[in-house]
Amino acid sequence: MGMAVGGRKGVKSEPNIVPLIDILLVLLIIFMVITPLVPKGLDALVPQPNPKKDVQQPEDVRTVVVSVSTGGQLKINQDAVTKDQLGARLIDIFKTRAERVMFVKGDPDVLFGDVAEVIDIAKGAQIDKVGLITAKIEEGQ
């Protein structure tokens, strides 16, 4: 019982797999490192409070705030609207304005999905920037 030494004669037709596996592992490591660095979420314009708390300025009539209450109730500034009417009302409000900025204020008990739906409707109405009003911003902090 002897063992053959030397192997087959002729050209080896199968590709060398080891360098391909090395490249694959390097690419896998690169993607694992880059994936957490990709920004996620929506662009939001958060209004900054005024540093002067003594001076009470009247609310700008050009500021549009959509309030989302529990139970799916929506208000544009103080006017109640339904989700079906929201897009058309926003288009009417912003059709003559050059600056298309809107703010969304949600109650603390409202699910973010409801707020995200309002933001989506606003984007469909060609609103350029949508800001979020939080409790701290309302208090002026």
CB burial of residue 64 (10 Å; 0-12, 13-18, 19+):
buried
Torsion of CA 20, 21, 25, 31, to 10 degrees: 50
> What pLDDT digit, counting tens, does each position of 6-22 carry?
666 677 778 889 999 99
pLDDT value, residue 72? 80
* Residue 39, domain member (yes or no): no
Low-confidence ranges of the chain (pLDDT < 70): 1-9, 38-39, 52-61, 138-141
Count structural domains, the chain: 1
Residue 52 identity: K
* Residue 114, domain member (yes or no): yes
* Residue 119, domain member (yes or no): yes
* Residue 98, domain member (yes or no): yes
Residue 119 identity: I
pLDDT value, residue 58? 46
* Residue 116, domain member (yes or no): yes
Q: Give me the CATH number covering residue 85.
A: 3.30.420
Structural domain containing residue 130: 65-139
Phi, psi of 108 (to 5 degrees): -60, -25
Q: The tokens of 21 are what?
A: 């596996």
* Residue 13, domain member (yes or no): no
pLDDT value, residue 5? 63
pLDDT value, residue 23? 95
In whole angstroms, give the CA distance from residue 141 to residue 128: 26
* Residue 111, domain member (yes or no): yes
